[in-house]
Each structure stands twice: as C-alpha cells, then as structure tokens.
C-alpha cells in the first residue's frame, strides 16, 4: 500500500467507482453495514479501492481504513467478498480511528 493515493474530489465514491470501471480498472467497494456505539461514519458509507491501492471515500478513518484497503486488495485478487468487523474499547478508540469506542461491520466486495 506504499503507492496508495487518496484521490480528493467532491464526487460520491460510487460515481468514482463507476468511472474507474469505465477506465478498465478493477474496483472493490467497502460499505459500512452496521455500527454499535460510537462510529465516525454512518451505515451506508463507502470506500472504493482499485487494484493499485488508490482509494476514495471513508468507512472509518485511522487504522481501520488502512485495514479495509488491505482486505479490499485481497478481495480484488480472489474475487471473494468478506465481512469485516472492528471494535475497540473507549480507552484505545482514538488509536484505532473510532472516536469513542464502539464497533463497525464493513462488507467488502469486488464490483463488475
């Protein structure tokens, strides 16, 4: 993920994914499907990732987002979707990118 680039734009991540696919790129999408307690991004938030590690959008922030990108690259390789769950205690929440503790569940799938 050293070469990963966060692409800044005001576009919706799903629109970006559609454009990337039109450009012939392999794309995965990560979607927040459940939250418990405090979560920085609501259910339905998206992060799109291409095979080069470029990504747009957000599902959480902090190390959670980095882990989701890593898992998405594997999903792109294998074609097998997966459900990820992240949870932290209040005292370690900021380090993990979850503002006040809590848990999130993120579904990652390959598009196309």
Residues 65-79 have pLDDT tens digits of 999 999 999 999 999
Q: Is position 5 within any domain?
A: no
Enumerate residues 6+ apart whose C-beta is below 8 A from 69.
1, 4, 47, 49, 53, 55
Which structural domain, as residue segments, surrounds residue 82? 13-110
Angle at 110 between CA 96 and CA 70, to 5 degrees: 30
Residue 1, domain member (yes or no): no
Does residue 7 lie in a domain region?
Answer: no
Global confidence as pTM:
0.81
Quick one: pLDDT at residue 40? Answer: 81
Selected residue with higher pLDDT from 101 and 48: 48
For residue 74, what are the contacts with CB-CB under 8 A and spacing of at least 6? none
Question: Number of structural domains, the chain?
Answer: 1
- How far separated are the first and last CA of the chain, in Å rounded? 23
Least Cα distance to 58 among 3, 106, 112, 111 occurs for 106
Question: At 89, is the secondary structure helix, strand, or coil?
Answer: coil
């Amino acid at each position: 993920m050293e070469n990963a680039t966060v692409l800044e734009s005001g576009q919706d991540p799903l629109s970006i994914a559609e454009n990337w696919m039109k450009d012939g790129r392999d794309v995965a999408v990560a979607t927040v499907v459940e939250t418990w307690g405090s979560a920085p991004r609501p259910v339905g938030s998206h992060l799109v990732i291409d095979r080069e590690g470029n990504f747009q959008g957000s599902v959480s922030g902090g190390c959670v987002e980095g882990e989701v990108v890593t898992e998405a690259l594997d999903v792109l390789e294998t074609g097998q979707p997966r459900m990820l769950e992240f949870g932290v205690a209040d005292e370690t929440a900021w380090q993990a990118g979850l503002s006040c503790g809590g848990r999130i569940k993120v579904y990652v799938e390959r598009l196309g």
